[in-house]
Amino acid sequence: MVRLGISNSLQSGDSLTPRSSTGIFLTTKAIIGIGAVIALLVAASLIALSPSLGGGNSTSTQTVTDTQVLTSLIDGGNTTDQGLNPEAIYSYANQSIVTLQGVQTTTVESIIGLPQTEEETVLGSGFVIEYSGQYYIVTNYHVAGATANLTVTFSDDNSYPAKVIGSDPYSDLAIVTASSAPVSEFHPLNLVSSSSLEVGQYVLAIGNPYGLSGTETFGIISQLGETIQDETAGNFSIADVIQFSAPINPGNSGGALLDANGSVIGITTATVSGSQGIGFAIPSDTIIRELPSLIANGTYTEHSYLGIEEVDMNYQLAQAAGANVTYGAMIESVVSGGPAADAGLLGGTRTVTIEGSQYLIGGDIIVGINGTKIVDENSLASYLEEHTVAGQKVQIEIIRSGHWMSVMLTLGARPPISS
């Protein structure tokens, strides 16, 4: 997402800055469900995703026809050694990519220390999908969620008023409609599950970096199950994120991350400031899971809440704490009255300094949930996001004072994000 305004600065969603120059996850800390899994700190701007556009009814005939055309192009076109045909995928998918633009109001401190408001123009990407016979556009919350005078521009350069009908800042998702746009403007992409993705798989990203419409880049999935944080989600983490190497820039927010079949497997969302080829996308499974609620209710309220602040366990912490494991998520503190506190989970009792960072050690070490091994904060956050909902009972496996034990816990729901 590009923000053009008085400050001319990029905002959360397009760029992420690591906590430490020596490593993104060095001294990572997080609050699952309340605070942030600060695996990555958002410093500039996120790469927004486009919400749904409602512009008439679609037909199964059109979807089938588009898929058949793509299959024909891929089979008969210039396929790479990796079995990918970027030209065919682009000719099919680019017509589905849109530009979203509007105005966001922010409060800043004036030169004399008083609060004042500023208006900034926001520009991001989005893509068209079909759900229950209607067309929608999926985008990032940081692009459209709090944006006034929102418009959508299709690949033929025709523009129409747009409206957000559903949003979830916790997943940085928004759904947009454009009821005045004719059906001919909508070319839905196929949304498929991201559950079977593998590191090393080839991907394509299409979006509008710096307003350069319909830009395609190519790369691979470089990691799965990452965790990022951005301003729109408060201090909560966005978990189970796809890391990929296709170059993206401000303005790509909300664009489509595609597989070799031209199907959507994620929405491009963020980069790391100063990096080369490190991008992040919200996985398509998150969209698929939340889409019915976002469209029907305008929100999604099933994010589970644990109520702890924790840190990745490692060899140095294990030595300092006298622990017998070097993996897991060590609890530093529990939120009073939260699910973890109610279940009797314990936080740290003494402070130590390791490599210049302070840690509260002596608390329980989470090593598993429902039989699934938890190796760090990322795996903890990803498991909760992918496999649990608010109100669900889970079995937490922990190491306490060197002994393994399990605790039954009822997950809460995340509290509203304070404005």
Strand 29-32 relative to strand 308-312: parallel, antiparallel, unpaired? antiparallel
What is the residue type of 169? P
Catalytic site residue 303?
no
Q: What is the CB neighbour count within 10 angstroms for residue 405?
A: 11
Q: Would you say 85 and 73 are in contact if contact means Cβ atoms under 8 Å apart?
A: yes
Catalytic site residue 364?
no
What is the residue type of 117? T
Q: Cα 182 vs. chain centroid, distance in angstroms?
A: 30
With tokens 């497997």, the residue in question is 265
Strand runs (DSSP E) across 259-400, as ranges?
264-271, 279-283, 304-305, 308-312, 329-334, 350-354, 357-361, 365-369, 372-373, 393-400
With tokens 């002994």, the residue in question is 403
Backbone angles phi, psi at 10, to 5 degrees: -85, 145
Cα separation, 57 vs 47, in Å, equals 29
Catalytic site residue 179?
no
Strand 115-131 relative to strand 97-109: parallel, antiparallel, unpaired? antiparallel
Helices (H), 258-313: 284-297
Catalytic residue among 14, 66, 172, 312: 172
What the block records as the tokens of 178 is 């454009």
Q: Would you say 405 and 396 are in contact if contact means Cβ atoms under 8 Å apart?
A: no
Catalytic residue among 167, 171, 237, 253: 253
Cα separation, 166 vs 188, in Å, equals 18
Catalytic residue among 12, 66, 96, 142: 142
What is the residue type of 43? A
Q: Would you say 164 and 122 are in contact if contact means Cβ atoms under 8 Å apart?
A: no
What residues contact residue 167 under an 8 Å CB cut-off, 6+ apart? Answer: 51, 141, 144, 145, 173, 174, 175, 294, 298, 299
Q: Would you say 323 and 399 are in contact if contact means Cβ atoms under 8 Å apart?
A: yes
H or E element at residue 63:
helix 60-76
Cα separation, 230 vs 168, in Å, equals 13
**Catalytic annotation, residues:** 142, 172, 253
